Amino acid sequence: VRTILLRAGDFFGGTGSGSWFDLVVAAKMEKGIYTAPGPADLVHEWAYLPDFAVAFVGLARNLDKLGFYEALNFPGHAVTDLDIKAAAENPLGRKLKLGFMPWWVLRAGSPFVAMWREIVSMSYLRFEEHRLVSTRLEKIIGEIPHTPLDQAVKEAMRDIGIAVAPAPRAAA
């Protein structure tokens, strides 16, 4: 079976649910709170799903350049929670209070809740700086899609139903 593995950071954007962004980070934004899943100043890899989808399409269009098994990285947004918080504050038109995810609750409940156990097993990704790089992906598909962070965060917020300020109109 031909296999193409495209690794990415945590997803955000799109209308689906179940990501760190909608379940944790943005869950209390309408109440004025940004919830950081880890240290707010630590670089973490995020993948804006519309960009990720375009990269997948690029791979599908270039199957002749791929082997039987390929493992590639999708370099999305390697940013801190402070960066995402600032990007979220702009379209909201207000500052957000910084809160933190209560990891102790997940650790305490992990013997009883399988999903929490799995989340805790991957928690090191929230406490160690990391980023994905890939010159190979760029060689295959050309320029890697990369929506600017401010725009991506604003669209992601809109996608999950958070009211954002309309873009200012250009002067005529």
Which residues face 99 on adjacent strands? 35
pLDDT at 18: 87
Radius of gyration (Cα) for the chain, nearest Å? 18
pLDDT at 172: 60
Q: Which of 11, 8, 18, 158 shows the shortest CA–CA distance to 90? A: 158
pLDDT at 168: 63
Mark the ranges of the chain whose per-residue pLDDT is less than 70.
Answer: 167-172
Looking only at the bridges linking them, the beta strands covering 77-79 and 44-48 are: antiparallel
Residue 88: other Cβ atoms inside 10 A: 22
Domains of the chain, earliest start first: 3-101+129-157 (3.40.50.720)
Looking only at the bridges linking them, the beta strands covering 69-73 and 3-7 are: parallel
**Under 8 Å between Cβ of 14 and 51:** no
pLDDT at 171: 63
pLDDT at 167: 63
pLDDT at 116: 92
pLDDT at 64: 94
Token readout for 90 is 């702009």
pLDDT at 169: 64
DSSP 3-state of 147: coil
